[in-house]
Amino acid sequence: MPHTAPASVELRDRPALLEARGLAYARNDEPVFGPLDFTLHPGEVVLVEGDNGAGKTTLLRLLSGLLAPTSGEIRLAGEPLTLARLSPQVALLSHANGLKPELTAIENLRFAAGLLGLRSGLSPTTVLAGVGLAGYDDVPTRKLSAGQKKRVALARVLLAPVGLWLLDEPYANLDRDGIQLVNRLLENHANRGGAALITSHGAYAYTSGTPRRIPLRADANRSDA
Amino acid sequence: MRSGSTAAACAALVRRDLTLVWRRRGDAANPILFALIVVALFPLALGPEPEQLRRIAAGVVFVAILLAGLLALDTLFRSDYEDGSLEQLVLSPHPLSLLLACKIAVHWFTTALPLIIVSPLLGELLHLAEPLRGLLPLALLLATPLLSLLGAVCVALTVGMYRSGMLLALLVLPLYVPVLIFGAGACNAAQAGLPFAAPLLWLGAALVLALVLAPLACAAALRISLS
């Protein structure tokens, strides 16, 4: 299984997709986390674990280039990370789903496909069915439940022709089937050579294989981040 | 795997924003209602003498439309910021400034253009002078895109802040004042029988400059707001 990812010779030959060295972030001089060192190779799923306020979301925003680190550096395929180099390769699922409540599920996905491109062989309709929402094409997103919205947002990630998934709490709001679905999607993504970094506060972790874990400790910062 | 073309991304964004305006069409009428109310109140406050109203007509219509635009300005990025769409725009592989230019264009098209279309009616309420009937919409056609572009930069700067309305107004007004002076100035000059081409040309020049620079500034400001 590629995503079990021991530090094998095979992995060292390939360049890391994402590499963080001494990555640290401080908000108003108060350290949030770090320094942190880790790598993410193609075919790997890495789980970022931490309590509420440990800086999981912040880490994902750093890795997606939306935030600049206080110290340390992030490398993307060996080069310093910039939004211009990252954006064709990344799909981000954040707490805000990025869905328009007034638009239907399928309209949201069509827009995402127009904006981010479409993975070959997929269409908004098939992807929506793939996340268990067949028949919900024309339902306005505001009428969907929180879990269903999460599934539409996952469908958006699935549509984008990218290799790197950054998923913030992909298990939140999902039922048992939904959790299985996320695990299945992640496994497929890893098997076709994609990489994913997901955060979890620990309640529902990635269960297939043994993903590498990055523990985030908020030792330096006990206040809410 | 394929990434869509930039043109397809812009088209998708324009289609989405137009659809959203259509779905929220109740809100879309707000700027027109606001301008109509402001203009309708002036004769009530000043008295119905046509001569007096005619003197201030162009200026009042200009100010009303400027304020109506200011009212609609905050909606430009607000909902996109709150529901996370803005992050998706920033992370898309296409030039952010181009995508934002599309957003600003749709915003202008759906908020300012209707105001320009009703501006003859607003002028009529104030007995707008005959020679200004063509000139006022023309001046607005040059001034309102400029207001939208300048405003968009300020909205982009303040969108990350909680309750930024007051700050937005403070940031925007100094930028709006020259536009108002040139736009209303052209109308006043025409009304006095003076040459009025120069202020219009200034507006046009500023518009060209803003068309090029404002989307870039807007993109930079949004990246700051999102971090």
Instruction: Closest CB to A119: pick one of B1, B83, B84.
Output: B1
Task: Report the C-alpha gap between A47 and B185 in whole angstroms.
Answer: 63
Per-residue pLDDT at A33: 84
More confidently predicted of A202 and B26 = B26
Do you know the residue count of chain A?
A: 225
**What is the arithmetic mean of pLDDT over B59-81?**
92
Most distant CA pair in chain A, distance: 51
One-character DSSP codes across A36-97:
EEEEE-TT-EEEEEE-TTSSHHHHHHHHTTSS--SEEEEEETTEE--HHHHGGGEEEE-SS-
A144 touches chain B (CB under 8 A): no
pLDDT digit string (tens) for chain A, length 225 residues: 444 444 444 445 567 888 999 999 988 888 888 788 888 999 889 888 888 888 888 999 999 988 889 999 999 888 888 888 888 889 999 988 899 999 999 999 999 999 988 888 899 999 999 999 999 989 999 999 999 999 999 999 999 999 999 999 898 888 888 988 999 999 999 999 899 999 887 655 656 666 678 887 755 444 333
Residue B122 belongs to domain spanning: 6-226
Count Cα atoms within 13 angstroms, Cβ side, for B119: 29
Map out the domains of chain A as residue ranges: 9-222
Which amino acid belongs to residue A194? Answer: G
Q: Do A64 and B20 touch (CB under 8 A)?
A: no
Please, what is the end-to-end C-alpha distance for chain A in angstroms?
A: 36
Count Cα atoms within 13 angstroms, Cβ side, for B121: 12
Interhelix angle for B197-226 vs B96-107, to 10°? 120
Domain-embedded: residue B1: no
Q: Do A115 and B84 touch (CB under 8 A)?
A: no
Per-residue pLDDT at A29: 86
B27 touches chain A (CB under 8 A): no
**What is the arithmetic mean of pLDDT over B156-165?**
87
Per-residue pLDDT at A222: 40
Q: What does DSSP say about strands A71-76 and A18-27: parallel, antiparallel, or unpaired?
A: antiparallel
Residue A214 CB contacts under 8 Å (≥ 6 apart), including other chains:
A36, A38, A46, A47, A48, A49
Q: Do A107 and B8 touch (CB under 8 A)?
A: no
Domain-embedded: residue B188: yes
Interhelix angle for B113-125 vs B30-46, to 10°? 20
DSSP letter, residue A224: -
Instruction: Closest CB to A98: pick one of B11, B24, B87.
Output: B87
Q: Which CATH architecture has domain A9-222?
A: 3-Layer(aba) Sandwich (3.40)
A66 touches chain B (CB under 8 A): yes
Per-residue pLDDT at A223: 39
Residues of chain B positioned with their CB less than 8 A from the CB of A158: none
Burial class from Cβ neighbours inside 10 Å (0-12, 13-18, 19+) for residue B174 reads exposed
Number of domains into which chain B is organized: 1
Instruction: Closest CB to A97: pick one of B12, B83, B91.
Output: B83
Percentage of the residues of chain B whose pLDDT score is greater than 90: 81
Q: Do A116 and B88 touch (CB under 8 A)?
A: yes
Q: Which residue has the tokens 């100010």?
A: B63
One-character DSSP codes across A158-200:
HHS--SEEEESSTTTT--HHHHHHHHHHHHHHHHTT-EEEEEE
> Cα–chain-centroid distance for residue A220?
25
Instruction: Closest CB to A99: pick one of B8, B83, B94.
Output: B83
Residues of chain A positioned with their CB less than 8 A from the CB of B1: 117, 119-120, 161-162
Per-residue pLDDT at A219: 53
A167 touches chain B (CB under 8 A): no
A117 touches chain B (CB under 8 A): yes
